[in-house]
Amino acid sequence: MEYDLGSSAGPCDAALGDSPHCGPLGDGKSDGDLPLPQPTESRRGHHFSVAAYNAKLLPDPLARPASARVSDRLQFHPLAPEPHRATPSKESGHMDRTTVDQLLTTTRTVRKRLDLSRPVEPAVIQECLELAIQAPNGGNQNRYHFVVVTDPVKRAAIGAIYKKVFYQEHAPLSGAGDPGLPVYQQGSATQQNSASYLADHLGEVPVHIIPCVESRFETAGTFRQATRYGSILPAAWSLMLALRSRGLGTAWTTLHLYHEKEVAALLGIPDDVTQVVHLGVAYYTGTEFKPGPRVPARARTYWDGWGQQR
Ligand SMILES: Cc1cc2nc3c(=O)[nH]c(=O)nc-3n(C[C@H](O)[C@H](O)[C@H](O)COP(=O)(O)O)c2cc1C
């Protein structure tokens, strides 16, 4: 897969970030196939119209022919409140911290509260993906890809693979009493119940998203693995946050990866691409989510050396 990172882009190590060795991050102009929407005036200054963006570029991204696809070239975020070159406005420094903290602490893995009968608009998925790709990625190389599956037959096939792993393959592989066994298979009755429910219904979840990253790196060293996984997992989490803010819940799962190749064949994912997670997405029922139980970060925070706490 080739990327146009700009005319003067040079070879860039995935982990170098903003190193001068990396290509330019762009000049704020749209250099893709389609122009970015022009800023419109409002009382609060310049902003991009999300509706205009979606109407122009993303009427139905899942149905667009390959020839009309938005270019792989770097573009600045279309949903940003201001063009990136504009002087930061007063508003940009003020966030509603209560809402942000609530979003961060109550975005859960949703299983039983996924609304399996309510359709999900492709545009909202694309909008959340545009937000998600603002997450960091190694060297800003943009090696992420997202396979969105809405076809009922393909969803059912993925669901069947997941169910087979969940009930027949995974527990024996991990072994009874294995502390590595995921909580959802060794935990409370509620957790098990929730996990089994998902295994029974995954194929019916209206949208499946498989975030992928280019290249294979299972035999690579820590640096390369961390860089590759780190170039897609932050976006997957941002996607969950963006979806949650729009009333959509996500079940983060990985069990299908036991049969990654089977799913790759089903979806035409190339051999040199790695799937990293599977996200089952649907509108959620109810309104309340609570913070999840966790070992407090304080108990796992070390200052100036492993084990040294304050
Ligand atoms: C790397 C990873 C793999 C996971 N795999 C699965 C899975 O295959 N099936 C599942 O039901 N949940 C899976 N989960 C969800 C976790 O079980 C869940 O995040 C955890 O129990 C905490 O619950 P919460 O997300 O609601 O806070 C996975 C989560 C992560 C981060």
Centre of ligand 1 to C-alpha 253, Å, is: 6
The predicted pLDDT at position 134 comes to 98
- The Cα 294–Cα 155 span in angstroms is 32
The predicted pLDDT at position 57 comes to 38
The predicted pLDDT at position 43 comes to 31
Closest C-alpha residue for ligand 1 atom 31: 252
pLDDT tens for each residue of 60-81 = 333 334 444 556 666 665 555 4
Alpha helices in 107-259 (DSSP H): 122-132, 152-164, 170-174, 183-186, 189-201, 222-229, 233-245
pLDDT tens for each residue of 93-144 = 778 999 999 999 999 999 999 999 999 999 999 999 999 999 999 999 999 9
For 214, residues 6+ apart whose C-beta sits below 8 A from its C-beta are 1, 143, 145, 272, 273, 274
- The Cα 109–Cα 279 span in angstroms is 9
The predicted pLDDT at position 192 comes to 76
The predicted pLDDT at position 169 comes to 84
- The Cα 188–Cα 300 span in angstroms is 24
Angle, alpha carbons 234-19-127 (nearest 5°) = 35
Closest C-alpha residue for ligand 1 atom 20: 109
Question: Three-state DSSP class for 248?
Answer: strand
| Predicted structure pTM score | 0.76
Residue 270 exposure: Cα atoms within 13 Å on the Cβ side: 9
Centre of ligand 1 to C-alpha 17, Å, is: 29
Q: Is the CB of 292 under 6 A from ligand 1?
A: yes
The predicted pLDDT at position 240 comes to 98
- The Cα 130–Cα 127 span in angstroms is 5
Residue 19's CB is within 10 A of a number of other CB atoms, namely 10
| Residue environment code for 228-240, b if the CB has 16+ CB neighbours within 10 A, otherwise e | bbbbbbbbbbbbb
Q: Is the CB of 252 under 6 A from ligand 1?
A: yes
Set out the domains of the chain in order of their start, with CATH numbers.
Answer: 28-84 (no CATH), 109-289 (3.40.109.10)
Q: Is the CB of 184 under 6 A from ligand 1?
A: yes
Residue carrying the six token digits 């693979």: 161
Ranges under pLDDT 70 in the chain: 1-92, 171-188
Q: Is the CB of 132 under 6 A from ligand 1?
A: no
Instruction: For residue 131, give the nearest of 229, 57, 241 by alpha carbon.
Output: 241
The predicted pLDDT at position 37 comes to 32
The predicted pLDDT at position 62 comes to 34
Q: Is the CB of 194 under 6 A from ligand 1?
A: no
Centre of ligand 1 to C-alpha 255, Å, is: 10
Instruction: For residue 131, give the nearest of 114, 146, 151 by alpha carbon.
Output: 146
